[in-house]
């Protein structure tokens, strides 16, 4: 396997600190430059960012709290490889919280917020028509940003952080179990939700949101792919 290090970009600005490292790795995971299961050794991470293992380890720990990295005792850290069950729970959580966040957001939304959302939508559409790795990565981020912006508008920092975790983990799930090559989020659905918010049709907005999440989930193939029991794999 290609070294984990080479898969990440690294600006040489000597801005030290765990947050930079954590954020850089998270971005790499969310944008799928790092695939689930990739080993993230402390030394490699440290070398890549020109820091000691101490800081590399701290960054990996931080990511493990967010569920993006799993650390196995005495074995090291790996980009998380969510199980189908875990994937289901992530989306169940989103169905549980996003309508509520949407309601809170709608109650506080300002015209400037609406403008911001529409801006995001435009950008998203632009990226969809482009081709190339870079555009694809930017599109992934943009489509998540819609949901995160709603959380930000809701004004609840706690729910916002939770949504950041859920969106990031969703990206991992889609990378693993997504079937269609098309974008993770139905672009038009975002637009419909914005419209519903704008015209204060709260119930319809929530309904659309639930439908939208279900739509994303429907594109996943979450059938258990066991190791085939180590026996079943060869009998027959």
CA distances from residue 162 to 64, 71, 87, 100, 151 in whole angstroms, order as listed: 14, 21, 16, 13, 9
The minimum distance between CB 53 and DNA, in angstroms, equals: 5
Closer residue to DNA (CB): 57 or 118: 57
Residue 127 binds what, of DNA, a copy of itself, none (CB under 5 to 8 Å, by partner type)?
A: none
75 part of the interface to DNA, by CB under 7 A? yes
55 binds, among DNA, a copy of itself, none (CB under 5 to 8 A by kind): DNA
Cα–Cα dist 46/59, whole Å: 10
Is residue 59 part of the contact set for DNA (CB under 7 A)?
A: no
- Is residue 51 a contact residue for DNA (CB under 7 A)? yes
> What part of residues 99-128 is at the interface with DNA (CB under 7 A)?
none
N-terminal to C-terminal alpha carbon distance within the chain: 32
- Find all residues with CB under 8 Å of 105, minimum gap 6, and list them: 113, 150, 151, 153, 154, 155, 197
Tell me the two tokens of residue 25. 């790795």
Q: Comparing C-alpha atoms, which of 43, 5, 10, 41 is closest to residue 24?
A: 10
**Which residues are near a copy of itself by CB under 8 A?**
58, 61-62, 65, 67, 86, 89-90, 92-93, 96-97, 100-101, 104, 156-159, 162, 166
Binding residues (CB under 7 A) for DNA: these are 16-18, 39, 41-43, 50-55, 57, 71, 73-77
């Amino acid at each position: 396997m290609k070294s984990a290090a080479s898969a990440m970009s690294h600006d040489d600005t000597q801005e030290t600190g765990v947050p930079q490292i954590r954020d850089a790795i998270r971005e790499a995971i969310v944008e799928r430059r790092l695939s689930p299961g990739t080993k993230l050794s402390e030394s490699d991470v440290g070398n890549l960012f020109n820091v000691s293992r101490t800081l590399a380890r701290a960054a990996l720990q931080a990511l493990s709290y967010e569920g993006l990295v799993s650390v196995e005792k005495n074995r090291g850290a790996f980009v998380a490889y969510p199980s189908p069950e875990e994937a289901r729970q992530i989306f169940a959580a989103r169905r549980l919280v996003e309508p509520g966040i949407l309601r809170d957001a709608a109650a506080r939304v300002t015209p400037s917020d609406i403008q911001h959302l529409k801006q995001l939508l435009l950008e998203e559409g632009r990226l969809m028509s482009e081709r190339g790795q870079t555009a694809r990565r930017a599109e992934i981020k943009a489509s998540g940003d819609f949901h995160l912006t709603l959380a930000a508008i809701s004004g609840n920092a706690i729910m916002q952080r939770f949504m950041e975790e859920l969106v990031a983990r969703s990206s991992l799930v889609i990378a693993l179990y997504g079937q269609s090559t098309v974008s993770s989020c139905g672009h038009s659905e975002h637009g419909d939700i914005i419209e519903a918010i704008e015209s204060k049709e709260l119930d319809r907005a929530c309904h659309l949101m639930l439908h939208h999440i279900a739509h994303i989930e429907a594109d996943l193939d979450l059938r258990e792919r066991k190791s085939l029991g180590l026996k079943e794999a060869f009998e027959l």
